[in-house]
Amino acid sequence: MLFFKPSALRPGTSATLIGSLATSGWDAQPDDLTRLEVPVELLESNLIGILAPANASLFDLIDAKDLAVLQPVADFGILVVHCRGGWCSLASSTTRMDLDLERLWPLIQQLTFD
């Protein structure tokens, strides 16, 4: 599970707090996933939280090219990306944010799942 922020929300305390809240223990969180630290090279990016199997590496779980494609999804209304076993779903955490499907679909088409 990857959590993204819109570009309008600058990196910093607010983004870090939102990422921490998104990846904290909540009822719907899968039991087999734990919070991973966002890699240092991505701290200034739109990625603010990661839930993954314990002791996993983000770059072992998702190709760097696909991660780069996903970075701007929050600007089009997607805040959470769930990937498991070759399947991926995109979700918005609120109905207050409109999905920009015209700009989102070309990004989705660039994703590769091997």
- The pLDDT, as a whole number, for residue 99 is 74
Report residue 28's pLDDT band, with 50, 70 and 90 as the boundaries: low
Q: What is the mean pLDDT of residues 50-78?
A: 86
List for the chain the helix, strand, coil content (%; round to 5): 35, 20, 45
**Of 77, 83, 80, whose CA–CA distance to 104 is shortest?**
77
Q: What is the mean pLDDT of residues 62-73?
A: 86
- Cα distance between residue 77 and residue 104, in whole Å: 9
pTM: 0.79
Number of domains in the chain: 1
- Cα distance between residue 18 and residue 66, in whole Å: 23
- Which residues form the domain of 42? 2-110
Q: What is the mean pLDDT of residues 26-50?
A: 82
Report residue 93's pLDDT band, with 50, 70 and 90 as the boundaries: low
- Cα distance between residue 23 and residue 51, in whole Å: 6
- Of all residues in the chain, the percent with pLDDT exceeding 90 is 1
Q: Which has more confidence, 24 or 95?
A: 24
User: Beta-carbon neighbour count of residue 76 at 10 Å?
Assistant: 20
For 112: left if phi > 0, alpha if psi spans -120 to 50, otherwise beta; the answer is beta
